[in-house]
Amino acid sequence: MLSYRHAFHAGNHADILKHFILYYVLSYFNRKDKPYWYIDTHAGAGLYDLSSHEAQKVGEFREGIHRLRIGSQLPETLTAFRQTLDASLPGQHKDIHYCGSPWLAQALMRPQDRLRLFELHPTDAERLRLNMRSIAESHRAQVFCDDGFKGLLAMLPPPSRRAVILIDPPYEQKHDYQQVIETLKSALKKFATGCYLVWYPCLSRAESLKLPENLIKLMPNNYLQAELYVHHPRADGFGMHGSGMFVINPPYDLVSILQNTLPELVTLLSQDDGARSVLQSQIA
């Protein structure tokens, strides 16, 4: 089933949390000269037009990136993140665009680093190829229209023995939750030292509620869990009221960064008095 299209949701509150953490992790990896790989299992189209029919139909970006762009008195971490996002976007009218994870990654990564991008939806895979063509021509990036779960395992371990891996499925199917766990188990056996970032939705359904607990079991001594809730769960139980990021082998200072930044994101992106954050970790 290939019904999910991120163009309808680009720039929403979940993207802000996901991309802030990705931005910080990649910046951390850039502190060392040694090259690394970025592997994205569900890469999407890479770049999104917020004036498009898809983005305007749902309008979720108005409660996400729009608030970040007009926000004042932001902490230094969010100001730097906003500047990085804006600098990465093409053209003069940057406010009508938003970057996907691959676009943000290529803006941060260096010439010696490599991107391996998977997208199963054929339309989005073709858009991703077009959007990433400049660095693909330089052999820095490869785009695959393929199953990212299987593709990830085929890439491990990377030659550089350093990698940031983003696992970001749509979770439209219940089996996506179990697939994340099974893929991570296999990935850790092949490449235990990789930095794995798993995004997940916060929903009123058992699979979503159970996922963080199952993720902790995979790496109980070296993980970080960050969740951002923007409103109370809906009375009917439907819809995403927040999202989370689970990081295996996180940068040592990511906890302190999020301790200061997550409360600011709650204030910035809150939609009602149910907005809150969760942060827990065990760092080896």
Encode pLDDT of 42-52 as tens digits: 999 999 989 88
pLDDT of 4 reads 66
Band the pLDDT of 270: cuts 50, 70, 90: very high
pLDDT in tens, 108-132: 999 999 999 999 999 999 999 999 9
Residue 262: pLDDT band (50, 70, 90) is very high
CA distances from 46 to 5, 32, 85 (A): 12, 26, 13
User: What is the pLDDT averaged over residues 250-265?
Assistant: 97
Let me know how long the chain is: 284
56-70, 131-145, 209-223: least confident range? 131-145
How much is the pLDDT for 235? Answer: 80
> pLDDT class for 91, splitting at 50, 70, 90?
confident
Query: Which regions of the chain does DSSP assign to beta strands (E)?
Result: 37-40, 47-49, 97-99, 114-118, 141-144, 163-167, 195-202, 223-229, 242-248, 276-282
Indicate if 168 belongs to the active site. Answer: yes
Could you say which of 40, 113, 124, 168 is catalytic? 168
pLDDT (0 to 100) of residue 11 = 92
> Does the structure show a pLDDT above 80 at 219?
yes
Structure confidence at residue 2 as a pLDDT band (50, 70, 90):
low
253 pLDDT tier (thresholds 50, 70, 90): very high
Q: What is the pLDDT of residue 3?
A: 57
Instruction: Indicate the pLDDT class of residue 29, thresholds 50, 70 and 90.
Output: very high
**Domain residue ranges in the chain:** 6-282
Distance between CA atoms of residues 201 and 169, nearest Å: 10
Cis peptide upstream of residue 157 (ω within 30 degrees of 0): yes
Q: Nearest-CA neighbor of 165 among 77, 23, 37, 78?
A: 37
The CATH homologous superfamily of the domain defined by 6-282: Vaccinia Virus protein VP39 (3.40.50.150)
For the chain, give the mean pLDDT.
93
In this prediction, residues 236-246 reach a mean pLDDT of: 90
As a whole number of angstroms, the distance between CA 144 and CA 182 comes to: 21
Cα distance between residue 151 and residue 233, in whole Å? 35
Using DSSP bridges, classify how beta strands 163-167 and 223-229 pair: parallel, antiparallel or unpaired. Answer: unpaired
Mean per-residue pLDDT, 10-26: 97
At 236 the pLDDT is: 80
Q: What's the whole-number mean pLDDT along residues 126-153?
A: 91
- Stated pTM of the model: 0.96
Is residue 53 a contact partner of residue 179, using CB atoms and an 8 Å limit?
no
